Amino acid sequence: MEKETERFLQAEETAAKLVETLKQLHTEATSYQTATKELDVVRQRLLKLIESTEKIATNSHEVIEILKKIGGPEILDRLLKIEKISTENFDNQLKSLDALKKLISEKFNNQLDSLNELKKLITEKFDNQSKFLDELKKLINEKFNNQSDSLVGLKKLIIVTLTSSITAVIIGIIALLR
């Protein structure tokens, strides 16, 4: 009886550990979802930067056309200044794009690594849960077999008791009839 109680308590403890493990797994999966959303934000920023660069290029072209029409040394000086500023802005944006590309690449690699880790963790957890379920099945089968054996023993005891009682009644009846 003590072994059965101990096994039952052990099975209950194992089930509690299983629930805790599943909670931890849920928390990790949620953190991976958050990282994916952050990558979407970076992608949106990149699109805005590309649109901004396109507008600047279009505006620079229009200014150059106007300056060609107007002409003059003063306009040429201003044009050179604007060109210098545009070049600097373009270089800065190019640097920003390179940095953003690097950041996206790092985030992607980190996400890939995280997903691989999650896959590994899920596989390990699945294997552990499979082993746990096998052990639980074995424990339940053992308990069932023990209870089945107890019932067979109890059945035999009842049959012996009934047989003894019937024999005693028959002997009593025979003794009364004599």
pLDDT along the chain (178 residues), means of 10: 69 74 76 73 76 74 66 71 90 91 91 91 89 88 85 87 91 86
Query: Are the C-beta atoms of 111 and 39 separated by less than 8 Å?
Result: yes
Cβ contacts of 140 within 8 Å, gap of 6 or more: 11
Give the pLDDT confidence score for residue 71 in this predicted structure: 61
Cβ contacts of 10 within 8 Å, gap of 6 or more: 139
Question: What residue ranges define each of the domains in the chain, with the CATH number in brackets?
Answer: 2-177 (1.10.287)
Q: Using alpha carbons, select from 4, 1, 112, 93 the residue that is nearest to residue 55.
A: 93
Give the pLDDT confidence score for residue 140 in this predicted structure: 86
Query: Helix 73-177 crosses helix 2-70 at what angle (to 10 degrees)?
Result: 170
Q: Is 46 buried (19+), middle (13-18) or exposed (0-12) by CB count in 10 A?
A: middle
Q: State the Rg of the chain over Cα.
A: 41
Q: How far apart are CA 145 and CA 151, in angstroms?
A: 10
Give the pLDDT confidence score for residue 48 in this predicted structure: 82
pTM for the predicted model, two decimal places: 0.34
* Angular region, 71: left φ>0, alpha ψ -120 to 50, beta rest: left
Give the pLDDT confidence score for residue 39 in this predicted structure: 72
